[in-house]
Structure 1
């Protein structure tokens, strides 16, 4: 019976999402989450937590596009109204800015998605958990 209670115990969502957004294992905060730019490791090298269950799919990309466009559009309008730059300079500047911001945000948002899934025990993250759930940071 104690194991069943441990399996249904709440995991800290905020802590798990923050750890994963920083590229660390949502369970222990020590091991690396990604083996490449967006490739999630199969398991944590530090605590052996299985991470292959994650199903982020297109969610991080949609959220990245939403954030970048909502940050870029008002800035684009403000810059145009204040300085009236040429169309080509705005196209180059904001195009480059959007690409760079997207590349910076995408792995962090995907990490947050994986951390949320782990904390909520989604997609098999809660099955057969035998090690300490959330160690101290």
Structure 2
């Protein structure tokens, strides 16, 4: 999962997982694992929204409690910060979801790790 968070191939850890911001390579250029079976769908967005909300909640509480800011100024601070956090967390979340799918052999991936080899 750590390799996915770092946008690296979960199998070899050396090649980049994404060819564009959220578009993974069809196959790893280094170890040739096929990434086309991945179906991350909306789950990375849910993770990103959840983390953004949890990270911003103390900031919002501190801004409201410590400073007497109007709603417009509060929105001018929070909305851009939320957008930056959301977009910044989206690619690592998608990489982690793809890594988890590969690790557990879900959605057409072949489970390759040693130990318990359930199909």
Common topology (TM > 0.5)? yes
Gaps of 5+ in 1: 1-16
Aligned ranges for residues 124-135 of structure 1 at < 5 Å?
124-126=108-110
The TM-score with structure 1 as length reference comes to 0.78
Moved over 4 A (4+): none
Tell me how many residue pairs correspond in the alignment: 114
Q: Secondary structure at the match of 2:53?
A: helix
Q: Distance in 2 between matches of 1:62 and 1:20?
A: 17
1:55-104: per-residue Cα shift (whole Å, max 9, x none)?
A: 11000101111111122223212211111122222101100000000111
Q: Distance in 1 between matches of 2:64 and 2:9?
A: 43
Aligned ranges for residues 12-31 of structure 1 at < 5 Å?
17-31=1-15
1:37 maps to which of 9, 21, 37? 21
- Segment of structure 1 superposing worse, 70-79 or 40-49: 70-79
Q: Secondary structure at the match of 2:89?
A: helix
Deviation of the 1:35 alpha carbon: 0.8
- Structure ID, larger Rg: 1
Q: Is 1:87 the counterpart of 2:71 in the alignment?
A: yes
1:76 maps to which of 52, 56, 60? 60
The TM-score with structure 2 as length reference comes to 0.89
State the partner residue of 1:116. Answer: 100
Q: What is the RMSD computed on CA atoms of the aligned residues?
A: 1.6
